[in-house]
Amino acid sequence: MQPIELKEGIYWVGAIDWELRNFHGYLTPRGSTYNAYLIIDEKITLIDTVKHHLYEEMIARIAQIIDPAQINYLVSSHVEMDHSGGIPRLAEVAKNITIVTSSRGETGLKNHYGQKWSFQVVKSGEVLPIGKRSLKFIHTPMVHWPDNMVGYLSAEKILFTSDAFGQHLASAERFDDELPRDIVMEEAKRYYANIVLPHSSQVIKAMQAVSGLEVELIAPSHGLIWRSRIPEIMAAYREWAANRTTETAVIVWDSMWGSTAKIARALQTAFENKGIRARMLPLGVNHISDVMTEVLTARYICVGSPTLNNGMLPTVSSFLTYLKGLAPKERVGLAFGSYGWGGQSISQVEEVLRSCGFELLDKIKVQYVPDQNTLQKITDNLQAKLP
C-alpha cells in the first residue's frame, strides 16, 4: 500500500482492482486501477477518489503521507462512481473538505449521494490557487460524461486527464514504460474502443483545448501514467478520434448449423485474395467488447446471422446494439447469412449497419446450405467489389 511519488509533493494514492473482469459490459481481462492523486501544498488537494470497495486501500496510501483529515480540497473531475465512490467516507474523515468540480459535477454528485457537502464550482479555464502551485481546470464534457474536466499543474507539467488516456490494467507498475509497449497500447486501444469511441468529436475538442500545454506526465484515472509514450498515445488518440481506419476487415457472425460460418470463410477468401487482412470473430467464442477493439481500426465490417424465429440470433443482435451505441464512423458494411424460409435476419443486419451510417457493400443471403459453387460466387462477387 505504498504511495508513489510522481514529482516532489505529488503522489499517486489510488487503488488497484485485481479482480475486475467486467466494466459495465466491457471485458477487462487485466483488471483496472482507480487513480487518485494527492498534492501536498498549503491546501492539501486530492484529485478524485476510488471505487467504494477500495476506499481503505486509498486511505492507507494517503495516511502514509499525511493525516487524511487534513485534506482541504477534493477535486472531482468525474462523477462516475469508480471515481466518486470514496467521497462519502472521505467527507466523514476530512470534515472541512471542499469539493471542487464543474457545475454538472456538482449536480451529478448531489444526485448520486444526496449529501450537503461544501462545493466550489469551477468554470473551464479557471485556476485554483492551492499554495505555491495552482491547478487549472479545462472542462472536457462527454469524455466520458457531461461533467468531466481535466486539471493541469503548470509547474510540474502534469495533466490529470480523468477517463481520457486510461487503460483498464491492474499492475504493480505505475508508468507506461514499465510494461511492454504492446500490452499498454492494446489496453489503451481496448479502452478507447469500448468507452471513449462514441465521444470522439468531444475528444478532438478536448485535445485542441489542451494542445498548447507542455506536458511531462499524463495522469489518467485508470491504468498507467504516461511519461515515455506521450507522443505515441496522443497520435493514437488523434487517429481513433478521427475514425481513421486501416485497410482491414472484421468478419463477425454466429451460426446455427454452420452455413453462415461457411459464408464467413468465403468472404475471408475474397479479402485475402485482395491482400486485405480479415479478422474472423465468431460471436460464440468472442466477446463483443473484444470485437469492438478490432472494429476500432478496421474499414470493413461484415456481420452475419442466420434467421431464427424471424429474426437474428441474439448474440448478433447484442453485438449490433453495442456497435451502434459505440458509433464508429466511416466504415463499409456487409450483411450476410443463411436462412431456411423467412430470411429476415439478413435485412435486419443490413438495416442496423445502414443506421450506423456505413456505406453498404453487399447483402448476401443463402437458403439453407451453400454449395461450393455458391461459395465461389460469393468470393468472386466480393472480390470484384473490393479495391
Is 78 or 190 the residue whose CB approaches ligand FEO more closely? Answer: 78
- Residue 312: C-alpha distances to residues 266, 303, 318, 367 (Å): 20, 11, 10, 15
Identify which of residues 144 and 174 has a Cβ nearer to ligand FEO in the complex. 144
Task: By CB under 6 A, tell whether 41 contacts ligand FEO.
Answer: no
CA nearest neighbour of 303 among 257, 242, 243, 346 = 346
Residue of closest CB approach to ligand FEO: 80
Would residue 78 show up in a list of annotated catalytic residues for this protein? yes
Among 61, 133, 139, 144, binds ligand FEO (CB under 6 A): 144
163 part of the interface to ligand FEO, by CB under 6 A? yes
Q: Does 222 bind ligand FEO (CB under 6 A)?
A: yes
CB-CB contact of 6 with 65 (8 Å):
no
Residue of 17, 78, 254, 339 marked catalytic: 78
Are the beta carbons of 171 and 18 closer than 8 angstroms? Answer: no
Closer of 43 and 168 to ligand FEO (Cβ): 168
Residue 336 Cβ vs ligand FEO, minimum distance, rounded to whole Å? 35
Which of 43, 51, 61, 78 binds ligand FEO (CB under 6 A)? It is: 78
What is the rounded radius of gyration, in angstroms, for the C-alpha atoms of the chain? 24
Selected catalytic residue, list 8, 24, 182, 214: 24
Stretch that binds ligand FEO, among 76-84, 173-181, 239-247, 379-387 (CB under 6 A): 76-84
- From the list 17, 41, 80, 147, which residue makes contact with ligand FEO (rule: CB under 6 A)? 80
CA atoms in the 13 A half-sphere facing the CB of 316 = 29
Minimum separation from the CB atom of position 221 to ligand FEO (A): 5
Q: Residue 120: CA atoms inside 13 Å, Cβ hemisphere, count? A: 14
Residue 295 CB-half CA count within 13 A: 34
Please report the sign of the dihedral spanned by the C-alpha atoms of residue 5, residue 189, residue 137, residue 120.
Answer: negative
**Nearest residue to 192 (alpha-carbon basis) of 166, 224, 230:** 166
What lies within 8 Å, CB to CB, of 356 at 6+ separation is 323, 324, 327, 328, 331, 333
Pick the closer one to ligand FEO by CB: 117 or 145.
Answer: 145
By the rule CB under 6 A, 48 interacts with ligand FEO: no
Choose the catalytic residue: 41, 57, 80, 176.
Answer: 80
Nearest to residue 305, comparing CAs of 271, 360, 349, 367? 349
Is 37 one of the catalytic residues? no
Residue 277, C-alpha cell as written in the block: 487482412
Closer residue to ligand FEO (CB): 143 or 295: 143
Question: Which lies closer to ligand FEO via its Cβ, residue 20 or residue 270?
Answer: 20
Is residue 140 part of the contact set for ligand FEO (CB under 6 A)? no
191 catalytic residue (yes or no):
yes
Q: Is 61 in the site for ligand FEO (CB under 6 A)?
A: no
**Has 139 been annotated as catalytic?**
no
Is residue 6 within 8 A of residue 149, CB to CB? The reply is no
Half-sphere exposure at residue 259, Cβ-oriented, CA atoms within 13 angstroms? 19
221 interacts with ligand FEO by CB under 6 A: yes
From the list 17, 26, 37, 144, the catalytic residue is 144
With H, G, I as helix, E, B as strand and everything else as coil, classify residue 32.
Answer: strand
CB burial of residue 1 (10 Å; 0-12, 13-18, 19+): middle
Please identify, using beta-carbon distances, which residue of 31 and 311 lies nearer to ligand FEO: 31
For residue 94, the minimal CB distance to ligand FEO (Å) is 22
Chain positions contacting ligand FEO, by CB under 6 A: 78, 80, 82-83, 144-145, 163, 221-222
Catalogue the active-site residues.
24, 78, 80, 82, 144, 163, 191, 222
